[in-house]
């Protein structure tokens, strides 16, 4: 038995179903949102797992035998020292490798004759290329710049 409800003006009901591509995109966006939501809960899950791990370690290392296993603590200490040394060594290696002058600095300005020479074009054409924000180039049969169809100058 179905009942007909009056149309609520705040609820959108389309006349036709959405295309498959749009439904797929909405599904992927929903999945991405759920993955992000789960990712945001990871720190809490990590803290709980860490606390459970401490309790389990305490039970395994002390309560089970009613004494402290010194060799196990020595192994844990050596592993902690090795992990710390490895991490610090890797950080120091990367610091030395990537320190120094910034290789992403701005390159020097190129003069118009150099631009004209590299394009194989006349000097006045390279001057128009340097002064335009965007352009459509005309290329010759030899794949060299032969002219400019349309250009947009820089806004000042």
pLDDT at residue 59, as a whole number: 77
pLDDT at residue 153, as a whole number: 64
pLDDT at residue 119, as a whole number: 77
Other Cβ atoms less than 10 A from the Cβ of 103: the count is 6
Name all contacts of 75-83 with Cβ < 8 Å and 24+ positions apart: none
> Is 118 in contact with 132 (CB distance < 8 Å)?
no
* Model confidence pLDDT, tens digit, residues 95-139: 998 887 776 677 778 888 887 888 777 888 777 777 777 888 888
Low-confidence ranges of the chain (pLDDT < 50): 1-3
């Amino acid at each position: 038995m179905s009942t007909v409800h009056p149309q609520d003006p705040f609820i959108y009901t389309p006349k036709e179903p959405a295309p498959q591509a749009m439904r797929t995109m909405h599904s992927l966006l929903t999945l991405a949102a759920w993955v992000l939501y789960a990712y945001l809960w990871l720190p809490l899950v990590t803290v709980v797992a860490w606390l459970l791990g401490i309790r389990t370690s305490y039970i395994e290392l002390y309560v089970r035998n009613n004494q402290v296993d010194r060799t196990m603590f020595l192994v844990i200490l050596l592993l902690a020292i090795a992990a710390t040394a490895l991490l610090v060594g890797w950080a120091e290696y990367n610091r030395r490798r990537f320190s120094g002058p910034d290789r992403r600095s701005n390159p020097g300005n190129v003069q118009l004759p150099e631009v004209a020479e590299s394009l194989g074009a006349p000097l006045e054409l390279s001057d128009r290329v340097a002064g335009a924000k965007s352009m459509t180039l005309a290329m010759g049969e030899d794949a060299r710049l032969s002219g400019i169809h349309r250009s947009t100058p820089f806004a000042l």
